[in-house]
Structure 1
Amino acid sequence: MAIEHLARATYATLPWKNGRGETDEIYLSPPGGSREDFEVRISSAPIIEDGAFSSFPGAERVITLIEGEELDLDFGDSRHRLLPFAPFRFDTGLAPTGRPVKGAVRVFNVMASRQCWHHAAQQVLAGPGSHEIPPDDLVVVFSVSGSWSLDTTTRGALRLAERDTVILREEAAALRASDGGRKARALVLRLRSAVALQGL
Structure 2
Amino acid sequence: MKVSSQIIIDAIWETLYMVSISLFFGAILGFILGVTLVVTRKGHILQNKFIFGVVNPIVNIFRSIPFIILLVAIIPLTRLIVGSAIGTTAAIVPLVLHIGPYISRLIENSLLEVDDGIIEAAKAMGASPFQIIRKFLLPEAFPSLILSVTTATIGLIGATAMAGAIGGGGIGDVAITYGYQRFDNTTILVTVIILVAFVQLIQSIGNVLERRLRRVS
Same fold (TM over 0.5): no
Comparing both structures, which one devotes a greater share of its residues to strand? 1
Return the structure number with greater relative CO, CA threshold 8 A, min gap 6: 2
TM-score (norm 2): 0.23
TM-score (norm 1): 0.24
Greater Cα radius of gyration, structure 1 or 2: 2
